[in-house]
């Protein structure tokens, strides 16, 4: 609440009062560095260093000979730092299980947001190498790009070429400020009210203890999985909504990161709609440079599985994330190379339901970093834990939350957007609807902010899921 009531208003006030792009950027940089250091001041130095390395590397790429050398060196530095903090413990743990050494595995704390700002900086350096953007001459402006508090710790992954003009000469209109406030309010309510509510249900059923999880009946595992499926979308899309909204208030235009992915009728479409900035990053900076689909079948499959192995690894240093990535790689391979055009002959409703089942199962894999717990959950889903199909406690939990779950389900569809568009279109030729639409546009963001404040006031610390990445 401190962020909503103090930090964000102070930042917005600075952007309104300051007149020149330079002074606005200086203020935005200071606010962003304070915001990032709030969670861990010592890791601010890491962000500053990586931004400096990429600033220097990009200048060498643009002005020095041996451009490819500087590209490889700069990207290698970024990946080495990311790997050191994110994967050292995972690699040493697996090495110890195989060879018995080392005896002591260092506990390395993962700096918040490192995966996001590392990929942003890599995309900047590669785009300079490709000639798609000019290298930024001023280090502090590149640091501003990497540290923008709207999105640096949990996405979306913003490319420098998409915000370069906004950094150098942004302008803010009253219409964009209004749209930004509304988008932020919607995102905050998604998180504080809907996602956190789904988390309460999921955590009661997808338990972190093997014995307790084994005692949950099949319908309990299914209900918990459904709640987590809603939670992860509402949670992550909420942060993207808030980032896009805060950006609009200050003149930054971030691209959409979600497009109602649970409406998809194929796994391929799902990944065009889910975490768009991440999937497009791997497409443009890994899949296509590897050869994409412009080569033979065996090489195409290799490229596909490399991308999805890395996608899984990006999400976390744990075998379940690797399995989760390869699971989607296998599904996409089946769709593309086995089903092919035959997929189009399946009715859309059946395809949609099939995608939902496959995606829901993927979230079970995603949820449990402990492979033993994952096995127990999967067995329980298919009724192999011998605890029956349902139980009184599960039925009561479902009945008590059925309307809330229906509301959350509706929030995962474009229903609200469709109703708003219909109201806005109808208001053009109807005076009554014009007044109703005008009042709605003013009242509902304020109502959502108040509702979110009420939800957060009595809630314990509940960070966004993607903070861990």
Three-state SS string over 84-140 comes to HHHHHHHHHHHHHHHHCCCCCCCCCCCCCCHHHHHHHHHHHHHHHHHCCCCCCCCHH
Residue count (the chain): 469
Q: How much of the chain, in percent, has pLDDT values that exceed 90?
A: 72
34: enclosing H helix or E strand: helix 21-39
User: What is the DSSP secondary structure assignment for residue 339, as one 8-state letter?
Assistant: I
Is pLDDT above 80 for 375? Answer: yes
**pLDDT at 407 (0 to 100):** 96
CB 155 within 8 A of CB 466: yes
For residue 394, is the peptide bond before it cis, meaning its omega torsion is within 30 degrees of 0?
Answer: no
Give 435 or 63, the one with higher predicted confidence.
63
**pLDDT at 464 (0 to 100):** 63
**pLDDT at 463 (0 to 100):** 63
The Cα 271–Cα 332 span in angstroms is 10
The Cα 224–Cα 364 span in angstroms is 9
Average pLDDT on 364-377 reads 95
For residue 263, is the peptide bond before it cis, meaning its omega torsion is within 30 degrees of 0?
Answer: no
The Cα 467–Cα 199 span in angstroms is 15
**pLDDT at 131 (0 to 100):** 94
Give the model confidence (pLDDT) of 443-466 as tens digits: 889 999 889 888 887 665 566 665
**pLDDT at 297 (0 to 100):** 93
Give the model confidence (pLDDT) of 120-139 as tens digits: 999 999 999 999 999 999 99
The Cα 94–Cα 100 span in angstroms is 9
Output the CA–CA distances (angstroms, integers) from residue 171 to 15, 182, 249, in the order listed. 10, 19, 10
Is pLDDT above 70 for 213? Answer: yes
pTM more than 0.95: no
pLDDT band, residue 468 (cuts 50/70/90) = low
The Cα 308–Cα 290 span in angstroms is 13
From the list 163, 156, 185, 182, the residue with the least C-alpha distance to 253 is 163
What torsion, rounded to 10 degrees, do the Cα atoms 83, 84, 89, 94 define?
60
Give the model confidence (pLDDT) of 19-54 as tens digits: 899 999 999 999 999 999 887 788 899 999 999 999
Q: Which of 34-43, 165-174, 331-340, 400-409 has the lowest mean pLDDT?
A: 34-43
pLDDT band, residue 340 (cuts 50/70/90) = confident
The residue written with tokens 């600033």 in the block is 55
Active-site positions read 315
Three-state SS string over 182-222 comes to HHHHHHHHHHHHHHHHHHHHHHHHCCCCHHHHHCCCHHHHH
Q: How much of the chain, in percent, has pLDDT values that exceed 70?
A: 97
Question: Which tokens go with 237?
Answer: 């899309």
CB 114 within 8 A of CB 40: no
The Cα 265–Cα 349 span in angstroms is 8
Q: Spell out the domain ranges in the chain.
A: 22-170, 172-258+383-469, 264-382
Q: Which residues contact 136 (CB under 8 A, 6 or more apart)?
A: 55, 58, 142, 145, 160, 164
The Cα 440–Cα 182 span in angstroms is 11
From the list 378, 403, 313, the residue with the least C-alpha distance to 79 is 313
CB 212 within 8 A of CB 379: no
Q: Mean pLDDT across the chain, nearest whole number? A: 91
Is pLDDT above 80 for 393? Answer: yes
**pLDDT at 459 (0 to 100):** 60
Question: Which tokens go with 72?
Answer: 């490889």
Q: Which of 1-5, 139-143, 229-233, 413-417 has the lowest mean pLDDT?
A: 1-5
């Amino acid at each position: 609440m401190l962020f909503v009531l103090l930090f964000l208003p102070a930042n917005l006030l600075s952007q309104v009062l300051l007149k020149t792009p330079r002074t606005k950027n200086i203020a935005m940089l200071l606010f962003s560095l304070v915001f990032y250091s709030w969670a861990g001041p010592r890791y601010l130095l890491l962000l500053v260093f990586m931004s400096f390395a990429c600033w220097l590397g990009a200048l060498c790429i643009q002005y020095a000979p041996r451009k490819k050398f500087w590209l490889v060196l700069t990207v290698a530095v970024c990946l080495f730092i990311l790997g050191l903090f994110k994967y050292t413990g995972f690699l040493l743990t697996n090495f110890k299980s195989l060879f018995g050494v080392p005896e002591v595995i260092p506990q390395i704390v993962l700096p918040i947001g490192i995966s996001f700002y590392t990929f942003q900086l890599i995309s900047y350096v590669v785009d300079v190498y490709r000639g798609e953007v000019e290298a930024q001459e001023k280090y502090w402006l590149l640091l501003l790009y990497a540290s923008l508090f709207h999105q640096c710790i949990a996405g979306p992954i913003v490319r420098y070429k998409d915000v370069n003009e906004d950094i150098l000469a942004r302008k803010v209109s009253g219409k964009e400020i209004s749209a930004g406030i509304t988008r932020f309010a919607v995102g905050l309510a998604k998180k504080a009210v809907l996602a956190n509510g789904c988390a309460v249900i999921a955590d009661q059923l997808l338990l972190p203890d093997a014995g307790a999880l084994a005692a949950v009946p099949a319908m309990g595992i299914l209900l918990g999985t459904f709640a987590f499926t809603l939670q992860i979308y509402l949670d992550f899309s909420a942060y993207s909504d808030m980032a896009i909204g805060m950006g609009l208030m200050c003149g930054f235009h971030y691209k959409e990161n979600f497009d109602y992915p649970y409406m998809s009728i194929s796994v391929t479409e799902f990944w065009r709609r889910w975490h768009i900035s991440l999937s497009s990053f791997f497409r443009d900076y890994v899949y296509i440079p590897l050869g994409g689909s412009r080569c033979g079948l065996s090489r195409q499959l290799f490229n596909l599985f490399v991308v999805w192995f890395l996608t899984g690894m990006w999400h976390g240093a744990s075998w379940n994330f690797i399995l989760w990535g390869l699971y989607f790689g296998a599904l996409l391979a089946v769709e593309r190379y086995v089903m092919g055009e035959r997929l189009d002959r399946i009715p859309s409703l059946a395809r949609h339901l099939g995608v939902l089942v496959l995606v829901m199962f993927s979230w079970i894999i995603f949820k449990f970093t402990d492979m033993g717990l994952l096995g127990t959950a999967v067995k329980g889903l298919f009724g192999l834990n011998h605890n029956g199909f349902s139980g009184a406690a599960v039925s009561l939990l479902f009945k008590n939350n059925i309307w809330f779950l229906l509301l959350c389900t509706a929030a995962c569809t474009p229903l609200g957007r469709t109703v708003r568009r219909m109201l806005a279109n109808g208001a053009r030729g109807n005076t009554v609807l014009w007044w109703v639409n005008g009042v709605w546009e003013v009242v509902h963001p304020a109502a959502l902010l108040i509702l979110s404040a009420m939800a957060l006031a009595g809630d314990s610390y509940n960070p966004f899921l993607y903070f861990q990445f």
